[in-house]
Structures are given as structure tokens and as C-alpha cells.
Structure 1
Amino acid sequence: MVSLTPTVTIGLDCGTGGARAMICDLNGRVLATAACEYRTEYPKSGWATQNPQDWWSACCQAVREAMRIAEVSPSQVAAICADGTSSTLLMLDEDGEPIGEAILWMDNRASPQAQRIGATGHPALRRSRAGVSAETAIPKILWLKENRPELYARARWFIELADFIALRLSGELTLGQNHTINRWFYSPRDGGWPEDFFERIGLGGITRFFPERMPVLGEAIGPVCAMAAAEMGLTRQTIVVCGGTDAYVATVGLNTLKPGDTALITGTSHLVLPTIDADVEILGLFGPHPDCVAPGRYVMEGGQVSTGAVLRWWHELSNGGGAGIEATLHEAEAVPLGANGLVALDFWQGNRNPYTDYDLQGALWGMTLKHTRADITRALMEAVCLGTANILRCISGQGLPVNSMTVAGAALRSRFWLQMHADTAGIDLLIPEVGEATVFGAAITAAVGLGAYASLDEAARKMVRIRDRIEPDRENHERYRALMELYIQTHSALSPLMHDMAERSRSAMAT
């Protein structure tokens, strides 16, 4: 039976672990969601890769399943928009086909290249005062040129995950402005690409490998192509809309677009994204990124590379993958604040902010024979929360107070962990009605590209609703302030040893 539901849009979120499709009406009512997983390979220490064809297969399966659940006909789907993990880089040949595996966002093999780029001090680095992230596309492209010249020579185009899905959907080759502004050093206000900067770092002429068409977030790209319509079960009348970086698209799904709003995106990684109206630099954070979501506004970014990923790793290691991760997290509720004297650092894949140091590694100390699995789980959960609070400390310490954060993602599954985030940060958390804000944001963005709303602001205001607020426990907050000092001191003490170990690992891989 096909429902009488009117026009709908589809959001596609291509995350680290898989693709998720969400079908919404134009009032923000969610009709169905469906997901399909894909694999990540870790071929060497610090490396992470994925197969681009797996992305497309997962997207097709997720969309077909969501449409089945929602009982919508292909003719009802007016627009579709895809977001993707940021700085997941892939090379295309002349025919638009992937060359090799995609280098995943969390892959930090380009750490030496990122450090060399940062050392140039070029004005193009203004929004990377914290340091150049090894996760981003430009250091990865430089790594490919220096270490895989045979692959680099075959490349005709460099794009990101979201661009690849847009290409498969529409047949149009594009490079979205959302991620090029916040990750590729693109600056429309300053004339576009910093050609002299690329020349200086050893990538002269690289922009000829970047697609010329660069749509903004929410811009219509074109209709679904015949191949995509057949494989996904859509019609040629469905409009493909430009998406972007998953976390930035989530700010649309949370309606944190006004100056003073802050999003906390949780999942495999964490991001703190304040929206501001002034061109203000904050030491230790990336940005301010102008016009990458809403025109006339800036987004600051503070991120943690491995948060939910650490807890998933620990769950699988300690449980053999048995039961669900929620049960593992629930065990930690019986452990007192401070994890019975354990202190951890959440740097399993390095640190994005505020240290921007991809030679850092995870750590856990204070162990005795009395400690349990639940103690370690609590220590890891607290390390993630302290890492988030450390980013907020940098923001507020430089005159930009954050009074609340609107939360999206995996942390919403655990009220206990949400309360821990509120207690460590000492601020209120706002809980949206639709917690899967990334894929929801893509569906909202699709509605804007369709023309149903005049702007992302209007669409988010009409389609997003808040259902709850979590306030911090002030007594616990004071206790966490003491733990924060231990967290910071642990980083300072172990950092030299971690740098030495990272160099040893690189030397071992080179031999």
C-alpha cells in the first residue's frame, strides 16, 4: 500500500560506519529511517581506508529500505541531499571512477606533511592557527604526491565523500563549498583558492585537479541521473541538492544557525561548533569559517578525533563484541565519579583540538589489580567528556562564553553520558526531538534546494524542535574541575613520550 503522504525529501548521511537514509515531510515529520553498514580497513598504524563503491551500495540499500518502511512512491520524493565524513578524500580518473581506496577522515598518515604546511606560516593558514590537521584533504594530497606518485599521476580529480555521492546521484562532478571552506583553505571572500600557498607547500597547479563547479550548501545540482534512479528506486524528477561536511550539516538539523548557538555533534568523533557573527580567532580551535553554512555568519570548530570510536573499541575488546555497547556503558553507572582513581586521554587517533597533534596517542593510568572493566569504561567516558570541556575552556577563556549546547548523535542513547557531559562542561544541554541531526539536516537542506523554503534558517526554524534540557550538577562540576587539571597534566607529562613513540612507529613502517 502506498500512503497519501505528500511531497517528501530524503537525507543521506554517509558516516564512518555506514550510510543512513531519512525520509521527512516538509514540516519536519520523520517518516522512516534505514541504515546499511560498510567496512573500514586499518592497514597500518594511524591509517584508515574505505571502498567508495561500498558507500554507493549502502546508500542505495538504505534509501530503498527507508522508502519501503515509509510507504512512499518514487514520485513523492522531490529532493535528496547527502552529507559525508569530512576530509574523506578520494581520487577519480578521467572517467570519474575511483582510483584505489578512499583515505578516511581519521587517517593521520599525513601528520609530517601537515606539520610542514603549518610551519610555512602562510596567511592562508589564518583559520588553522591551532595547527594544520593531518585529517584534512590538502596534507593527504601532498602525502599521495610524495609517497604514492604512481597513484597521484593517474588522478584527474580530487573530491570528498559527499561530492562522490552527489556525482553518483546526478552525474555532475562538483566540489561543495561547505567542506572546501572549512577544510581545503578555500576562501570566497578572498578570491577563492590560495594559489601561491599551494605553490609554496609543493602543490603548485593542484587546483586544476579540483572540479570547477562549487555549489553552496543547499544549492540544487540537478535531477537524479538515469543510473541512480534505477539503482535507488527514484524518478528522474527528484532533485539532487548539494550537501557537505556531516557535522556542519547537523547544525542545520539542530537549528544552531544563529550567532550564540552551539552544536555538540557526537558519534565516532565529537565536534563543538559555535556559530558567531564576528571574524574572531580562538587559539586552539579552527576557524572562523565564513559563509560555509549560513551566509554572513562564521562557524568555529573544536573537535575530538576518537570518542565514540574509543568506547566501541573498548566494548569489542572487553566483551568480544557480545551484547550491545549500551550494556557496557550502563555498567559504568555504578562506578563513582573519578573512576576509582583512573585517568585516561582520549587520543586514540591523535588530538584535533585544542592541541592539533596527531602524534599523540591514547593513555590510561592509575591501574591496580582492584580495578574492573566498569572502572575503565567510566574512565574512558570521562576522558571524552573532559576533552569536550577542554575545548569549551579554550572558547570561554578567550571571551566567547558558551551557555548551552544542542546535542546530536550517539551520546543521546545514554542519559548517564549526557549528564556527564553537562557536569564536566558546567552548562545546559538541549535535546532535540530528532536526535539524528546529521541525516535530518540533510533532509532539511534538500527541502531548501527544492525551493520549499527560502533559506536554511527558515527551514530549520520550521522543522526542528527541542524536547528536553539537561542541567549540570554543580557539585559534580566542581569535582570534575579537579579531574580536568589531572587530564591536562597527563597530556603535558606524556606528550614527549608519545612523540617519540610516533617517530619510532613511522621509522618501523619505513623499513
Structure 2
Amino acid sequence: MANSSPTVTIGLDCGTGGARAMVCDLDGRVLATASRDYATTFPRPGWATQSPAEWWQAACGAVREAVERSGVSIGQVAAICADGTSSTLVMLGENGEPLADAILWMDNRASPQARRIEQSGHPALRRSRAGVSAETAIPKILWLRDNDPDLFRQTRWFMELADYIALRLSNRLTLGQNHTINRWFFDPRRGGWPEDFFEAIGLAGITTRFPDHMPILGAPIGLLSAEAAAALGLTTETLVVCGGTDAYVATVGLNTLRPGETALITGTSHLVLPTVDDDVEIAGLFGPHPDCVAPGCFVMEGGQVSSGAVLRWWHDLFQDASPGRIEDMIRAAQTVPLGANGLMALDFWQGNRNPYTDYDLQGAIWGMTLKHSRADITRALLESVCMGTANILGCMERHGVAVRSMTAAGAALRSPFWLQMHADTAGVKLRIPEVGEATAFGAAIAAAVGVGAYGSLQAAADRMVWIKDEISPDPERHAEYRVLMELYLDTYSALQPLMHRMAQRNRSSPQPMPA
């Protein structure tokens, strides 16, 4: 028997590892969640791909289970909103079917194309003062033109993961403004698409292959199609609402929408996202991106490509010989003193997004001796991620964006030890929200706005988001980490030339293409 709870919305987060559905009421209470995993393939060094069919299958399973767990009737589900990993490029044919696996955000095969785009010096690059990211869609499209011309020619529509899920939900082609502003060089304040820029980099006319319906985050798209309703176990009365880039949607779930507030999104990758009111670029960072979340505000961005992904990689190497949870591995690292008994690591397993924007960098660990244990290396990896975050914050502060507190979300919330390490390394207070899965939660909040329950994302977040705790940095540990930070930066400077040589060697070495 269904209960008589208020009307609900569903936030659907399509992350790197899987789809997560969250059912929320209009006051921000989470009624149920459910998730389904999907696989990532790594066909060549630096490449990463996923199957859109697996996304949809996982999304349907997660939504069905979450609704069943929530106890609400399907008639109470007012709206659904999906976010997705940013810059995961989908190639569709004339009939709207994927022509190949999607090129995942962390795929850095387009590093040469990104450098070529950067060398154009075009004014459209003003929000890429850090450099053009090889993760983003436009370098990937240019890579397809250069290296897979048949697929490039056959592709009728280019879109992001979140747009593809919206298409499967509503049967309507869209390209959400949230990610086109922060990733595709679209600027709503400067005429929209920079057509002369695309022409200059060899993609003249490419915007004819972008869907022309470009809703903002939280805008309604249309009702669930009959096919989607059947697959999800919902009704065709449920509204589909536009989502966007996962981390930017999470800023809604953390209510960091006012200038002076900053989100720290943790997971497979890390992102630091301050909301600001000035249109001032900072070398080493992306942005400021206008109106991509809250109208009238800008979002700066500093990110790490591989943070939680490094820990997952390290954990999985031992899974056959020593099964256990990542949490157990982190718990063992708590017994290791600060500094990991003389180990230093760089968190560049898939390159560096900020502040170097260099996808020819690779991960590194040095200082190892026969005395070191698995726990020592785990501690060094944990510290490397924290120092990568602190490096981004230092870049911000040197250019006038001083961050004194961050509201945290994501996988790191499962480890108070790692959260404290983040605070100690950066010297910044962390605010802990009631709902830590801020990405799916932000999508559910956006769905509430789309269905008209609130007049704006800010109004909805003010009502639905709550902070439950704070973590302050320890001054003594922060002083020790400042010394380690110098070693981290010196390690980067010393190894960068060698890493570039290795990346060039990998690109020039012939490797068989996947079947």
C-alpha cells in the first residue's frame, strides 16, 4: 500500500561508476535511493569509454528500485531530472541511436587537439585561461575529425551524457546550457556560439550538429515518453526537467549558489567550485562561467581528474589477493604518520586539469624502500589528492579568490579521517551537509523547480538543504602539510619533463586498435 507522502521528485545522477536515483519530497527529505553500476573500458593508455545502452539500463533499474523503496505511488512522482559526468561525448546518428561507445570525460586522447585549439589564441578561450582541457567535448570532436573521419561524418548529433538521458526520458533532443557554458564555449552574454572560433580551429559549421533546443538548468523539457515510462515504471504524467554537469548540479544540492560560497565535490574526481560575482579570469582555473547555475552569478572551477579513481585503482589491484572495502584500506592508512613515512605521490593518473591543465602528466610515487607497506602507499595517495586540492585553492588565493570554508559532498564524506586531512592540508573549514549525495540531490531540487514547486534554484535550495556539521583544520598538522606541499610542488617541477617524454613515447608507439 502506498503511503500518503507529499508529491515527490527524482534526481538521477549518472556518474562515472553508475547511475543513482534519489526520491525526495518537496521539503528536502530523502525517501529512498538506489544505484546500478556500469563499466568503463580503457582501450588504450589515456582512453576511457562507456556504453550509452548500459547507462540507460542502469538508470531504469535504479529509478524502479528507488521508487519501490520510497513507498510512494507512481502518480506522486511529479518530475525527474538527470545530471551526468561532464564532457562525456555521445555521437548519435540520424535516427538518434548511438553510433559508438561514448568518449568518457576522463579520456585524454584529444590532448594534441586541445593544444592546437589553445594555440589559436581566439577570444572565445577567455574562460580557459588555465588552458584548453583535453577532457572537454570540442577537442574530442576535433579528434574524431582527425582520427576517425567515418564516425565524424556519420554523426548527426553531438551531445553530453545528461542530454542523452533526457532524450531517452522525453524523446526530445536538447543540449543543456549548463554544460555548454562551462564546457562547450557557449556564452549567453556574448552572442551564444562563437562560430568564427569553430571555423578557426577546423570545425566550421559544427553547431548545425548540436541540438538547437538549449534549456537552462531546472527548465522543463517535456513529459516522459510512453516507452520511457514503461521502462522506468512511472507514468507519462511525470515531467522531465533539464539537468547538467554533475558537479555543477551538486552546487544546488549544497546550496553554494551565492557569491562567497564554495563547493568541494569529491568522488572519482574532485572539483572546487566557488560562486563569485565578478567576471575576472584566473590563470590556472576555468571560468568564470556566467549564469550556468544561478542567474547573475559566475562559477569558477578548479578540478582534479583522478582523485577517488586513484584509490579505486589502488584498491582493485589487490582485490583478488586481499579482498576488502576501500574503507578498510583507508582505515589501515590511519595508522601511518603524517607524511606517509617518507613517501610522496602526485595525483595525475589521468593528467592534471588544474592548475596546470596538462594531460601529458602521469601519476607518480617516490621515496619507496623495502620497509614501506601497502598502508604507507595508501596514505601517500590520500595525501596527494589533498595536496592537489590545496594547490588549486592556493592558485585561487593568489588571484584574489580566498576560500575560507567549503561545503563538501561525495565519496570522501564516508571517511572522517580523509575529510580531516583535506581540512588540515588546505587550512580550510569544511561544512558537512545533511544529504551528502549532493549531485542526485541537486537534480531532485532542480526537478522541484522545473515542476513549479519553487520559483528559483536558490529558493528551493534555501528550503531543502541543511548543514549538519563542520570540520576545522588542525593548526599543527596544517603547518606540517605546508612543508610537504613544497615537496609536492618540487616533485611536479622535477618530473614534468620526463612525463612529457613518456606521453610522447606512448602516443608514437604503435598499438593495435580494439576490435
Q: Which TM-score applies when normalising by structure 2?
A: 0.99
**What is the distance in 2 between the residues matched to 1:158 and 1:455?**
29
Give the structure 1 partner of residue 486 of structure 2.
485
Give how far 1:167 is off. Answer: 0.3
**What is the distance in 2 between the residues matched to 1:245 and 1:384?**
22
Q: Secondary structure at the match of 1:347?
A: coil
**What is the distance in 2 between the residues matched to 1:391 and 1:246?**
20
Alignment of 1:404-483 (within 5 A): 404-483=405-484
Give the structure 1 partner of residue 214 of structure 2.
214
Give how far 1:510 is off. Answer: 6.2
- The one-letter code sitting in structure 2 at the alignment partner of 1:316 is D
Pair 1:256 & 2:256 matched: yes
Give how far 1:318 is off. Answer: 2.9
Alignment of 1:229-268 (within 5 A): 229-268=229-268
Alignment of 1:40-59 (within 5 A): 40-59=40-59
Between the aligned residues of both structures, percent identity stands at 73
**What is the distance in 2 between the residues matched to 1:207 and 1:499?**
33
Q: Secondary structure at the match of 2:273?
A: strand
Give how far 1:4 is off. Answer: 1.1
- The one-letter code sitting in structure 2 at the alignment partner of 1:251 is T
Give how far 1:407 is off. Answer: 0.2
Q: Secondary structure at the match of 2:99?
A: strand
Alignment of 1:50-69 (within 5 A): 50-69=50-69
**What is the distance in 2 between the residues matched to 1:177 and 1:368?**
51
Is contact 1:318–1:373 with CA below 8 Å preserved after alignment? Answer: no
Give the structure 1 partner of residue 141 of structure 2.
141
Give how far 1:74 is off. Answer: 1.1
**What is the distance in 2 between the residues matched to 1:484 and 1:129?**
24
Q: Secondary structure at the match of 1:35?
A: strand
In the TM superposition, structure 1's runs of 4+ consecutive aligned residues that sit over 4 Å from their partners are none
- The one-letter code sitting in structure 2 at the alignment partner of 1:4 is S
Give how far 1:262 is off. Answer: 0.2
Give how far 1:509 is off. Answer: 3.4
- The one-letter code sitting in structure 1 at the alignment partner of 2:405 is S
Q: Which TM-score applies when normalising by structure 1?
A: 0.99
Q: Secondary structure at the match of 2:117?
A: helix
Q: Secondary structure at the match of 1:142?
A: helix
**What is the distance in 1 between the residues matched to 2:6 and 2:375?**
49
Pair 1:17 & 2:17 matched: yes
**What is the distance in 1 between the residues matched to 2:273 and 2:406?**
9
- The one-letter code sitting in structure 1 at the alignment partner of 2:475 is R
Give the structure 2 partner of residue 295 of structure 1.
295
**What is the distance in 2 between the residues matched to 1:283 and 1:337?**
31
Give how far 1:6 is off. Answer: 1.7
Give how far 1:323 is off. Answer: 1.2
Give the structure 2 partner of residue 199 of structure 1.
199
Give the structure 1 partner of residue 386 of structure 2.
385
- The one-letter code sitting in structure 1 at the alignment partner of 2:510 is M
Q: Secondary structure at the match of 2:265?
A: strand
Give the structure 2 partner of residue 304 of structure 1.
304
- The one-letter code sitting in structure 1 at the alignment partner of 2:235 is T
**What is the distance in 1 between the residues matched to 2:291 and 2:510?**
41
Give the structure 2 partner of residue 96 of structure 1.
96
Give the structure 2 partner of residue 374 of structure 1.
375
Is contact 1:22–1:440 with CA below 8 Å preserved after alignment? Answer: yes
Pair 1:403 & 2:404 matched: yes
**What is the distance in 2 between the residues matched to 1:439 and 1:509?**
41
Q: 1:221 to 1:339 in 2, by over 3 A?
A: same
**What is the distance in 2 between the residues matched to 1:169 and 1:72?**
20
**What is the distance in 1 between the residues matched to 2:494 and 2:106?**
25
- The one-letter code sitting in structure 1 at the alignment partner of 2:403 is V
Alignment of 1:100-139 (within 5 A): 100-139=100-139
Q: Residues 324-376 of structure 1: CA distance to partner in whole angstroms, max 9, x if unpaired?
A: 10000000000000000000000000000000000000000000000000000
**What is the distance in 2 between the residues matched to 1:300 and 1:400?**
9
